[in-house]
């Protein structure tokens, strides 16, 4: 992701907002699923996103000590959104969107790391954050693949889970 054309303030604000949204999505998804193991994993991811928010907020305070992050500020940074439509939707389809967002977040943090390569500690933290986002991607990918098997059973054998 080429982020060089954006200001640091725009980038950090966009990243902060994306982490807030990711936390909300993982919390919402954890309420939608019935599988306790998946619920636990989604709650874990929500907590991870909360820690990412804290990191960005700290970085923002370092860069702009006299300012607060304005989450209402529109940012031109193109980060994907996850949309959960009303009605019946397969969680695996939502996970596809979540995976795209996690991959974009990973690329976003790599781009930020490049901007801070003069600060080796911060560069290292941002690269680690990028790898964490790819870890989230892989976790969701594995869960999505598992869910698709169950969803396929429901499509091809609708009475599969009725207990008859």
CB 82 within 8 A of CB 101: yes
CATH class of 8-78+87-156: mainly alpha
Contacts of 13 (CB under 8 A, 6+ apart): 60, 69, 70, 71, 73, 75
How many other C-beta atoms can be found within 10 angstroms of the C-beta atom of residue 102?
Answer: 25
Given a contact cutoff of 8 angstroms between Cβ atoms, the answer to whether 71 and 119 are in contact is no
Per-domain residue ranges for the chain?
Answer: 8-78+87-156
pLDDT for 80-114, tens place per residue? Answer: 778 777 666 778 888 999 999 999 999 999 999 99
Query: Does pTM surpass 0.85?
Result: no
């Amino acid at each position: 992701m080429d982020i060089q054309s954006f200001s640091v303030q725009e980038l950090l604000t966009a990243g902060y907002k994306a982490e807030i949204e990711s936390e909300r999505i993982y919390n919402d998804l954890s309420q939608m699923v019935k599988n306790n193991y998946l619920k636990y994993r989604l709650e874990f991811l929500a907590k991870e996103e909360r820690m990412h928010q804290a990191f960005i907020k700290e970085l923002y305070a370092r860069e702009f000590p006299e300012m607060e992050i304005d989450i209402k500020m529109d940012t031109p940074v193109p980060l994907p959104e996850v949309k959960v439509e009303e009605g019946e939707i397969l969680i695996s389809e939502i996970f596809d969107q979540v995976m795209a967002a996690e991959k974009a977040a990973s690329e976003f943090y790599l781009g930020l790391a490049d901007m801070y390569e003069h600060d080796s500690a911060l560069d290292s933290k941002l690269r680690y954050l990028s790898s964490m986002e790819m870890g989230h991607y892989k976790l969701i990918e594995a869960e999505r693949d598992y869910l698709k098997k169950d969803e396929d059973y429901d499509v091809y054998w609708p009475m599969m889970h009725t207990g008859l």
